[in-house]
Amino acid sequence: MTLHRTINLDLDSPLLRVEALTKLYGARIGCADVSFDLYPGEVLGIVGESGSGKSTLLSCLAGHLACDEGRVLYRNRDVVTLSEPERRLLSRTEWAFVHQNPRDGLRMGVSAGGNVGERLMAVGARNYAAIRASATDWLGRVEIAAERIDDRPRQFSGGMQQRLQIARNLVTSPRLVFMDEPTGGLDVSVQARLLDLLRSLVRDMGLSVIIVTHDLAVARLLADRLMVMKDGRVIEQGLTDQVLDDPQHAYTQLLVSSVLQV
Amino acid sequence: MSEAAYNFAYLDEATKRMIRRALLKGLAIPGYQVPFASREMPMPYGWGTGGVQVTAACLTPEDCLKVIDQGADDTTNAVSIRKFFERTAGVATSEHTAAASVIQTRHRIPEQALTERQILVYQVPIPEPLRFLEPRESETRKMHALEEYGLMHVKLYEDIARHGAIATSYAYPVRVEGRYVMDPSPIPKFDNPKLGGMAAIQLFGAGREQRIYAVPPYTRVVSLDFEDHPFEASKAAHDCDLCGAAHSYLDEVITDDKGGRMFVCSDTDFCAMRRAEGHVGRLSPKGAAA
Amino acid sequence: MPNPMILIENVSKRFTLHNQNAAVIPVMTGAQMRVEPGECVALTGQSGAGKSTLMRMIYGNYLAASGSILIGGLDVVRASPREIIRLRRETLGYVSQFLRVVPRVPTRTVVAEPLLALGHGEAEAHARAEELLKMLNIPERLWSLSPTTFSGGEQQRVNIARGFAHDYPALLLDEPTASLDGANREVVLQLIERAKARGAAIVGIFHDEAARKRVCDREIDVTGFTPRKAA
């Protein structure tokens, strides 16, 4: 298998450009003055503790929350000012969102196959056999046995549900994937499997990923780059291993030194 | 005969005007669910309060009303509603499809083709076809507005995955004039092809859910399906045991406790008309034929 | 003079420990070196003199406080993360003392990963990985297992195989022969010699003096870059 990259994508210009993004909750800062570029195939980790603004930032980027200031350019189009139909179209074609809790990202009353097939049907697939073949293929890619295709997610374990959510999101070959603590709440052994899966999917599909996590080990294994957030602001960013091994900011040093070594 | 204490057709004129506005809007945007201020009616929800309000708003003193319940004119529901309008509007009523100018129906479309001078009023329990998979009204409205109808096919997909074929046999979703996906009310899918290109006006009223929608005459109405699992207007593979009709929708009637059963037209007027014309079926009394 | 593969000029490094009263610890100043293609340079000096620190700065893992570190023309001190990632993928290899991998990934894939990241086909990448694993005497029955459960020596050899999978023009080696037996040590030294022969510029830390004498062309004592204590 050769490296598969999404077509027509200029690898040297940013897929996503974020400029001075700010979101306020009344007088309180959700996130403030966040700027960065994300290139095709790049994985950006956003770390920080609860309340640091990382989830607010992700919601603003994904269009789930309206930001107060700043611009978010996706392939040179400002998604902040995008009309709702356009944004919703984007989020079921070129974008994907993996929730921490698979229940938020899956239809629990619909079979695994239906869950994976939904995005295909949403973009006009009308051939049952083709949709089913595609769903079977994707279940295989996330290591769910083909004979589980007609089972509902509530019969699945937490790890399987999360893998199903990933399949459901990636079936239409998106370019940009938002992930909110995708390995949170899973057993460590299940986490490892998921991390491995995510890494190979990112590589094989050339995905750009923005992943929010408070788990620095997850960040180290998945992210090319890190942004460290505190009180709604980005206090440090850089190459993942550099930020973790040679943190410059007092808070990052505290964060890194607080992790238990095993 | 009309009860003088009531306004014509029970509802006050302001309410009827409000409903007519909703009907006109519904006709202007085929398949779109128009909210309306549904009134309390002197019957419980589920007995056709939506249809009754629509009928009340359409009736004129010159109209002739027919009411059917699953095709039959003589069931409790049909009889009650017919009586209701006899008393409150004093309009003529009939059991003959061709004679009626307004037909209120619960879960059937008459077999006999309707004409441009007729109005068909459907009683609708749940107007939202997307409700099955998406419980949030705010979200389903958005999906209609943005034509995001992938979910409708998820429902059909689930059917095929579970039953090997699209098992939805009534309230089968349709797309109206290439735009809105609509619940045709719980009519059997056998009736779906009659929805499209119909000469009569079709009005849908959901009382509890406070929605009105409409299909104007000669509108394109397509039943949703997959390329490799096309829509089929199915019925029981029998002829009517009373009138011998091969292409009408049949009710199965259990006749004894030894497995005996018979199939008869669900449209009682249609069946009676055919029998009057001399058609016979498997169980017709000997010598009944002319 | 030809263009050096690695050119380090006036590099300094200090650590600021914000959580210990913002203590500033200067660890390096005025570091310079150049490494030509085909050359192997050893970093020497006592433990704690800054060999690993310098190596990590070359790799972009530590941030230099000043100066420049040019690798194939790219200044690692000022480069964006994206540029460093590309540099590491295409140009600059690093064999560290510790193997850091995603649990559960089979050894064969761990070794093939640098090639897969460059877009080589899976068959080709795996073939190269197996060739290296065989050379380094990792039993075939272990190839499909994750190296996380391997012994220290086995992990070190997997790490070396991974580091030599792609023909990087520049290579950083941190104690590549430590904890290896004689036969495997010999394999690693041959890999280094072969890399030099194809023109790789190599910077290494070798406590193994015989190994150092055999593969290194020059030695740089990093003690010379140690900041003088303030009087």
**Percent of chain C predicted with pLDDT > 70:** 98
Whether the Cβ atoms of residue C83 and residue C92 lie closer than 8 Å to each other: no
To the query of whether residue B271 is one of the catalytic residues in this protein, the response is yes
User: For C215-222, what is the mean pLDDT?
Assistant: 96
Whether the Cβ atoms of residue A63 and residue A82 lie closer than 8 Å to each other: yes
Is A219 a residue whose pLDDT tops 90? yes
Contacts of B160 in chain A (CB under 8 A): 128
Residues B50, B205, B207, B271: which is the catalytic one? B271
User: For C116-131, what is the mean pLDDT?
Assistant: 95
Whether the Cβ atoms of residue A196 and residue A183 lie closer than 8 Å to each other: no
Closest CA to A129 of B164, B151, B148, B152: B164
Residue A4: what pLDDT? 40
Dihedral, CA atoms, A33, A38, A43, A48, nearest 10 degrees?
0
Distance from CA of B190 to the nearest CA of A (A): 22
Contacts of B163 in chain A (CB under 8 A): none
Rounded to whole angstroms, how far apart are CA atoms C152 and C167? 25
Contacts of B142 in chain A (CB under 8 A): 84, 88
Phi, psi of C57, deg, nearest 5: -70, -40
Whether the Cβ atoms of residue A81 and residue A67 lie closer than 8 Å to each other: no
- How far is the first Cα of chain B from the last one, in angstroms, to the nearest whole number? 39
Residues B31, B51, B207, B281: which is the catalytic one? B31
Average pLDDT, chain A: 91
Task: Taking each helix axis as running N to C, give the angle between helix A188-205 and helix A158-170, from 0 to 180 degrees, rounded to the nearest 10.
Answer: 10
Average pLDDT, chain C: 93
The answer to whether residues B29 and B48 belong to one domain is yes
State the total domains in chain B: 3
Q: What 3 state SS string does A74-93 have?
A: ECCEECCCCCHHHHHHHHHC
Listed in sequence order, the DSSP H helices in chain C are 51-59, 81-90, 107-117, 122-135, 152-165, 182-197, 209-215
Dihedral-angle region of residue A143 (phi above 0 means left; psi in -120 to 50 means alpha; beta otherwise): left
To the query of whether residue B240 is one of the catalytic residues in this protein, the response is yes
User: For A199-213, what is the mean pLDDT?
Assistant: 91
Contacts of A254 in chain C (CB under 8 A): 18-19
Q: Least CB-CB distance to A118: which of B154, B226, B229?
A: B154
3-state secondary structure of B271: helix
Question: Which residues, other chains included, contact C81 with Cβ-Cβ below 8 Å and sequence gap of 6+?
Answer: A224, A225, A238, A239, A240, A242
User: For C139-152, what is the mean pLDDT?
Assistant: 93
In a domain, B88, yes or no: yes
Rounded to whole angstroms, how far apart are CA atoms A112 and A153? 6
Tens digit of each residue's pLDDT (9 = 90 or more) over A36-69:
999 999 999 999 988 899 999 999 999 989 999 9
Question: Which residues, other chains included, contact B77 with Cβ-Cβ below 8 Å and sequence gap of 6+?
Answer: B47, B48, B69, B106
Rounded to whole angstroms, how far apart are CA atoms A48 and A61? 17
Which residue ranges make up each domain of chain A?
11-94+175-262, 105-173
Confidence label for A129 from pLDDT (cuts 50, 70 and 90): very high
Higher pLDDT, C98 or B209: B209
**CATH code, domain carrying B123:** 3.40.50.11310
The answer to whether residues B176 and B275 belong to one domain is no
Closest CA to B267 of B113, B143, B44: B113
Distances (CA, A) of B224 to A9, B151, B155, B183, C156: 36, 12, 11, 11, 61
In a domain, B240, yes or no: yes
Cα–Cα–Cα angle for B269, B273, B277, nearest 5°? 170
> Chains near B, with 3+ CB pairs < 8 A?
A
Structure tokens at B194: 């009659």
Distances (CA, A) of B2 to B6, B10, B56, B83, C108: 8, 10, 14, 11, 90
Cα–Cα–Cα angle for A201, A212, A49, nearest 5°? 150
What averages of pLDDT result for each successive group of 10 residues across chain B (290 residues)? 77 97 98 97 91 98 96 93 95 97 97 97 96 90 94 95 92 97 96 97 97 98 97 92 95 91 95 95 71
The answer to whether residues B47 and B122 belong to one domain is yes
> Chains near A, with 3+ CB pairs < 8 A?
B, C
Confidence label for C97 from pLDDT (cuts 50, 70 and 90): confident
Rounded to whole angstroms, how far apart are CA atoms A215 and A223? 12
Whether the Cβ atoms of residue A223 and residue A240 lie closer than 8 Å to each other: yes
Residue A180 burial class via C-beta count within 10 angstroms: exposed 0-12, middle 13-18, buried 19 and up? buried
Whether the Cβ atoms of residue C147 and residue C134 lie closer than 8 Å to each other: no
Structure tokens at C130: 């197996």
B226 touches chain A (CB under 8 A): yes
The answer to whether residues B157 and B189 belong to one domain is no
Q: Which fold has domain A11-94+175-262?
A: Rossmann fold (3.40.50)
Rounded to whole angstroms, how far apart are CA atoms A16 and A8? 15
The answer to whether residues B150 and B165 belong to one domain is yes
The answer to whether residues B165 and B179 belong to one domain is no
In a domain, B288, yes or no: no
Neighbours of A102 (CB within 10 A): 25
Least confident window among A205-209, B130-134, B219-223, C70-74? B130-134
Is A105 a residue whose pLDDT tops 60? yes
Structure tokens at C227: 């900041």
Residue C1: what pLDDT? 52
Q: DSSP states of chain A as a string? A: -PPP--TT--TTS-SEEEEEEEEEETTEEEEEEEEEEE-TT-EEEEE--TTSSHHHHHHHHHTSS--SEEEEEETTEESSSS-HHHHHHHHHTTEEEE-SSHHHHS-TTS-HHHHHHHHHHHTT---HHHHHHHHHHHHHHTT--GGGTTS-GGGS-HHHHHHHHHHHHHTT--SEEEEESTTTTS-HHHHHHHHHHHHHHHHHHT-EEEEEES-HHHHHHH-SEEEEEETTEEEEEEEHHHHHHS--SHHHHHHHHTSPP-
The answer to whether residues B103 and B211 belong to one domain is yes
Which residues of C lie closer than 8 Å to A, measured between beta carbons?
Answer: 15-19, 22, 56, 60-63, 81-82, 84-85, 100, 102-105, 116-117, 119, 121-122
Which of A86, A87, A110 best probes binding to B when mutated, by most B CB atoms within 10 angstroms?
Answer: A110
| β-strand pairing of B201-206 with B211-215 | antiparallel
Rounded to whole angstroms, how far apart are CA atoms A146 and B127? 36
Distances (CA, A) of A107 to A103, A119, A146, B135: 7, 12, 19, 11
Rounded to whole angstroms, how far apart are CA atoms B116 and B128? 28
Q: How many CB pairs under 8 A join A and C?
A: 63
Residue A6: what pLDDT? 44
Closest CA to A195 of A173, A175, A176, A215: A215
CB pair distance less than 8 Å for A128 and B229: yes
- Which residues lie across from A225 on neighbouring strands? A44, A239
Residue carrying structure tokens 């193997």: C99
Distance from CA of C182 to the nearest CA of A (A): 31
The answer to whether residues B142 and B96 belong to one domain is no
Q: Which domain holds residue B18?
A: 3-129+171-221
What ipTM was predicted for this assembly?
Answer: 0.91
Contacts of A110 in chain B (CB under 8 A): 133, 154, 158
Rounded to whole angstroms, how far apart are CA atoms A129 and A6? 25
Residue C101: what pLDDT? 83
Residue A81: what pLDDT? 87
Rounded to whole angstroms, how far apart are CA atoms B154 and B166? 11
Rounded to whole angstroms, how far apart are CA atoms B24 and B19? 9
Residue A189: what pLDDT? 79
Give Dmax over CA atoms of chain C in angstroms.
61
In a domain, B289, yes or no: no
The answer to whether residues B209 and B149 belong to one domain is no
Rounded to whole angstroms, how far apart are CA atoms C108 and C128? 9
- How far is the first Cα of chain C from the last one, in angstroms, to the nearest whole number? 40
In a domain, B205, yes or no: yes
Rounded to whole angstroms, how far apart are CA atoms B44 and C151? 77
Rounded to whole angstroms, how far apart are CA atoms A153 and A164? 8
Chains C and B: 3 or more CB pairs within 8 Å of each other: no
pTM of the model: 0.88
Report the residue count for chain C: 231
The answer to whether residues B251 and B121 belong to one domain is no
Structure tokens at C109: 């894939």
